[in-house]
Amino acid sequence: MATKKRHWLWNILIVITVMVCVTAFIAHYKNWTQIGTDKMTILSGIYFRDISFEDLEQVEWVDRVPPMVRLNGFSAFEKGKGIYQEFKDTLTDKKVYVFVDNFEQPKIRVFHKDSSLLYFNLKDSIETVEMHDFLNGKIKLQSKPPN
């Protein structure tokens, strides 16, 4: 019985497709944060947000993310990521960025740059608490008058 050989191009295409799928899964698996000297970057797949520490206005805990219209993004199981719009702001172009790794855990709501909103939490609840305390510390440093 003669075996039919597959063309090498199909093998390469299959390998590249699997690599792209695995990379996309790893990129969306959790929120990746990077803290610099003057800003914090949150990245999850193709969604990212830079938050300048000097633009921070308020950081607070919320138990639930309010109902919103999803403009771009996804929610699956306990994760929700993307760009949303609040129901009350459907006439404006105010965007709400959501980077939630677990809807069951408390989330951090960040107000920055003229009331722009960001909801996020991290996979580990202890890291989320530490991030909340860190951001509150940055706000307190800004509110102190220079000596």
Pull the structure tokens for residue 131.
């991030």
Residue 6 lies in a domain: no
* pLDDT the model gives residue 115: 67
Q: How many domains does the chain have?
A: 1
pLDDT at 130: 92
Q: Is residue 24 one of the residues assigned to a domain?
A: no
Tens digit of each residue's pLDDT (9 = 90 or more) over 44-76: 888 888 888 888 888 999 999 888 888 888 888
The answer to the question of residue 47 being in a domain is yes
Q: Which residues contact 46 (CB under 8 A, 6 or more apart)?
A: 27
- The residue range of the domain holding 75 is 32-143
Is there a domain that residue 55 lies in?
A: yes
Specify if 12 maps to a domain.
Answer: no
Structure tokens at 34: 């990077």
Residues 128/121, Cβ–Cβ less than 8 Å: yes
* Strand ranges in 3-147 using DSSP code E only, listed in sequence order: 32-35, 39-44, 47-52, 56-62, 68-76, 79-86, 96-100, 107-112, 116-121
- Per-residue pLDDT, averaged over 126-144, amounts to 86
- CATH code where residue 124 lies: 2.30.29
